[in-house]
Amino acid sequence: MKFRPSVFLFLALCLIASSAATWQKKDAWIQLFNGKDLKDWSVKIAGHPLNDNFGNTFRVEDGKMVVRYDQYKAFDEQYGHIFYKRKFSHYLLVLEYRFVGDQVAGGPGWATRNSGAMLHCQDPATMGVKQDFPISLEMQLLGGNGKAERHTANLCTPGTNVVMNGKLFTPHCVDSRSKTYHGDQWVRAAALVLGDSMMVHIVEGDTVLSYEKPQIGGGNVIHHNPAVKKDGQLIREGWISLQSESHPVEFRKVALFDLAPYARDRKRLTAVLQNLRTATP
């Protein structure tokens, strides 16, 4: 896929180009997951009210945030999301994840070894009880099936659209150009989010997908409040959430570098992105 030329895409490429340099300001990173508990997170599972962590779906085990289904009899389309406590506009999000075990009974075929990081989410408090997905931009995380090619850090768009190559892009999902990661290996994925201008997906140091002008629109979200879904409105900020889509998944790193303080100063933003380089929290 050819990406539209952009100064920020160039900066993103600079950000991941070097494997040797790491910015020294470690304290500038926000560890969204503290490795101990979920006190900074809220849970919304379809069919259940906010903060009803049905079946103890989201929990902490051995210093990891994990998604488990051992207390489910069947999945029953109970799609879940765990939201960090505050919203962000400009940032670099870094995740380390892996898929483990078997899909729960009743999970759809497409959701095998499937999870995601939802970017620019609507406020979880505005979600309907039966709403399946938050209005958001999903960096879709997929694990390989041991046979076929299966990209990760794709884009899916529940209740949203984006611009690609200068045109409004309305299909629900589009593949990245990432490698396939089979088995239970850990994978590092990152999302560079620059308000309502540009978003870039990065996997293991490779820029794999880019798009612009995230906005509310399209379908692929049900039981939502129509007043929240203002089609055509650009999305400048939002919450971050991680998914439970019927396959066990683990996260050992969820960290964010807040770029909002530099967003109004192009030179400072450029310097920060160039110094980040390896995107290592």
Give the integer Cα–Cα distance in Å for 29 and 272: 12
pLDDT for res 3: 34
Give the integer Cα–Cα distance in Å for 54 and 16: 38
H or E, element range at 277? none
pTM: predicted TM-score of the whole model, two decimal places: 0.90
φ, ψ for residue 93 (rounded to 5)?
-105, 130
Question: The tokens of 148 are what?
Answer: 């076929």
Give the integer Cα–Cα distance in Å for 58 and 42: 10
- Amino acid occupying residue 126: T
The string of pLDDT tens digits covering residues 26-53 is: 557 999 999 999 999 999 999 999 999 9
Is residue 259 scored above 60 in pLDDT? yes
280 falls in which pLDDT band (50, 70, 90)?
Answer: low
pLDDT for res 189: 96
Q: Is the dihedral of CA 34, 42, 96, 107 positive or negative?
A: positive
7-276 belongs to CATH 2.60.120.560: yes
Give the integer Cα–Cα distance in Å for 88 and 258: 8
- Name the 3-class secondary structure at 275: helix
Contacts of 62 (CB under 8 A, 6+ apart): none
pLDDT for res 28: 78
Report the pLDDT averaged over residues 70-92. 97
Is residue 278 scored above 70 in pLDDT? no
The string of pLDDT tens digits covering residues 57-68 is: 999 999 999 999
Contacts of 182 (CB under 8 A, 6+ apart): 143, 144, 145, 146
Q: What percent of the chain has pLDDT over 70?
A: 89
Question: The tokens of 26 are what?
Answer: 């470690």
277 falls in which pLDDT band (50, 70, 90)?
Answer: low
The string of pLDDT tens digits covering residues 158-182 is: 999 999 999 999 999 999 999 999 9
Give the integer Cα–Cα distance in Å for 33 and 1: 33
Report the pLDDT averaged over residues 244-260. 96
The string of pLDDT tens digits covering residues 187-229 is: 999 999 999 999 999 999 899 999 999 999 989 999 999 999 9
Closest CA to 196 of 230, 162, 164: 162
Domain spans in the chain, listed from the N-terminal domain onward? 7-276
Closest CA to 189 of 69, 59, 92, 54: 92
Give the integer Cα–Cα distance in Å for 42 and 51: 6
Residue with more model confidence, 271 or 95: 95
